[in-house]
Amino acid sequence: MNTFFQKFVKVCPKTGRIRKFIFPKGFYKILFPFVGLAALAWIILRVIPKPSRAAYPCMKVATPIASSFVIWLVGLGVSIKAFASMKSAYLNSSYFRTAIFLLIGVVFGAVAFSQYGLESYAGSKDNKVFKQAVLEPNQPMGTPVGIFPGRVVWVHDPAATNENCDPMAEGHSYFAPENTNQDVVDAMVSEVIQSLTGATSDSSAWDAIFKFHNNKRGKGEVGYQTCEKIFLKINATSAWWGNYNDDDLSKVYSSWGGVNSNYGLSETTPQFMKAILRQLIDVVKVPQEDIYIGDPMKFIYKHIYEYLSAEFPNIHYLDHTGHTNLGRELAEKGTTPLVKYSDRGTVLVDVANSGAPVYEDKLYKIFEEMEYMLNLPQMKGHIRGGVTMFAKNHFGSHTRDGANHLHNGLMDPGETGLSKRPGYGLYRVQVDLMGHEILGGKNLFYIMDALWGTHHELANPHKWQMAPFNNDWTSSVLASFDPVAIE
């Protein structure tokens, strides 16, 4: 009985639950009407009492079978009726009507029997089809990446942050040295890279990191070579017009008679940046002149520059417009489109240009010139994209003035006017960014600043209530070679 049953459904060997319906093949095709009826009944019995179940993976698998059954039933009924009417018309010598009914019968008959053997795929808005993923708890999907494939390392130390910090206190926000302990952060970064690689020292950990990455890129199992440029892509969401003083790039605290709500916005922490720079310069021995840091679409605030340049005066601090008088360098824009979006203009639109389709983007030149990149996001969600840190940080890597044109590729496009886009089988722009030959391919490994985590991109750090945080800051660092696993 089990063998017969498995001709029509796939069952999870661990849970015993139905994971997907299978269209019958061979002799079992004659049972298609019964399988289709069962799928239709399954949907009716499950969805009518609770409509939200329509988004369940099993419902999305059953729907194509049920709809195929309905189409088959309608097509079969219409074709039978048409052939019966054709016979009557022929006997009454009405040959024109005979031809019409014959045509109707053939067309609807073809529609009916074309439903056999269709694959159970989830379709997208633009009529592309994607095989429906079947998700099971604690059953990872895809091919894991890493020295230890799929490993994600999490280091948590409450001593890294000041429990009594007020992110909105002028001159005393989370990024002030008094609120983030540099020595503790240094130790956390050391621990996370050693745990990620299985090494017993920082130098051997970095050697393993570079060799794994270079081998994966087809360069051979080689370490860092002098003169190879490294770019540290930070997150500086608030560093835009109105949030800084142009004469010195200090943060604006008072705005329009009140407090600037973006003053304490959670972004990549200066102490985390310094910990990474110390590793690269003091351990890997990368020359300062070969290191670039910044968020090219934005600016590097005064407090960050002063904190880092005191120890590392010769690295390149990139700036959106230049500010060479303040020790910054212009982040030059590339002239050739390097990112080609795989939706091919069917989802992404340029909001600033009356909804014109978006096909591609240029990147800043540093992305073309660098040999390695370290993407350093802060751990925070995104109002329109949900949980996305590394992928979302590249919304600031293209050369446009903003990233609204990418919002249609997220779950909640917002100002683009498109309705919410939850569920599977839909175009997600993050995939194009994570899988890009430069943005993904040159990413050395993934290490996340999770010291001052928060719930969305325009929020101050928030204390987390759940264990092990227990109403304290997140105070963490995470790392992986696997971009999907760590996201």
Average model confidence (pLDDT) across the chain: 85
Could you tell me the pLDDT band of residue 485, with boundaries at 50, 70 and 90?
A: very high
- Residue 434 binned pLDDT confidence (cut-offs 50, 70, 90): very high
Q: For the residues 24-49, what does the mean pLDDT come to?
A: 70
* For the chain, percent of residues with pLDDT exceeding 70: 81
The average pLDDT across 80-108 equals 75
Q: How confident is the model at residue 121 (pLDDT cuts 50, 70, 90)?
A: very low
CA nearest to 451, candidates 209, 182, 207: 182
**Is the predicted pLDDT of residue 60 greater than 80, yes or no?**
no
> Region 266-292: what's the mean pLDDT?
99
Measuring CA to CA, how many Å separate 450 from each of 148, 205, 373, 382? 22, 21, 19, 15
pLDDT recorded at residue 383: 82
Q: pLDDT band at residue 114, thresholds of 50, 70 and 90? A: low
Phi, then psi, of 399 in degrees rounded to 5 = -100, 5
Tokens of 426: 């839909």
Q: How confident is the model at residue 468 (pLDDT cuts 50, 70, 90)?
A: very high
Are residues 411 and 384 in contact, defined by beta-carbon separation less than 8 angstroms? yes
Q: With a cut of 70, say whether residue 20 has pLDDT above it.
A: no
d(CA 429, CA 348): 8
**Predicted confidence (pLDDT) at residue 322 exceeds the cutoff of 60:** yes
Q: Cα 449 to the chain's mean position, in Å?
A: 17
* Greater model confidence, 85 or 33: 85
- Mean pLDDT over residues 424-443, rounded? 93
22 pLDDT above the threshold of 60: no
d(CA 375, CA 323): 23
- What's residue 108's pLDDT? 66
As to burial, measured by CB atoms within 10 angstroms (0-12 exposed, 13-18 middle, 19+ buried), residue 204 is: middle
Per-residue confidence band for 94, with pLDDT thresholds at 50, 70 and 90:
confident
State the pLDDT at residue 93. 67
Q: What is the pLDDT at residue 465?
A: 96
User: pLDDT at residue 4 above 90?
Assistant: no
In this predicted structure, what is the pLDDT of residue 385? 82
Question: What is the band of 328 on the pLDDT scale with cuts at 50, 70, 90?
Answer: very high
Contact predicate 60/132, CB 8 Å: yes
Can you name the residues that pair with 244 across neighbouring β-strands?
251
- The number of CA neighbours under 13 Å toward the Cβ of 300 is 29
Section 45-67 average pLDDT: 65
Q: Any idea of the CA torsion for 120, 125, 129, 130, to the nearest 10 degrees?
A: -80
Q: How many CB atoms lie within 10 A of CB 419?
A: 8
Confidence (pTM): 0.74
Specify which residues 380 forms β-bridges with: 454
**Closest among 450, 325, 472, 311 to 390, alpha carbons compared:** 450
Q: Which region among 56-65, 319-328, 404-413, 445-454 has the lowest average model confidence (pLDDT)?
A: 56-65
- Looking at residue 358, its amino acid is V
Is residue 142 predicted with pLDDT exceeding 60? yes
Q: What is the CA angle 327-378-347, rounded to 5?
A: 100
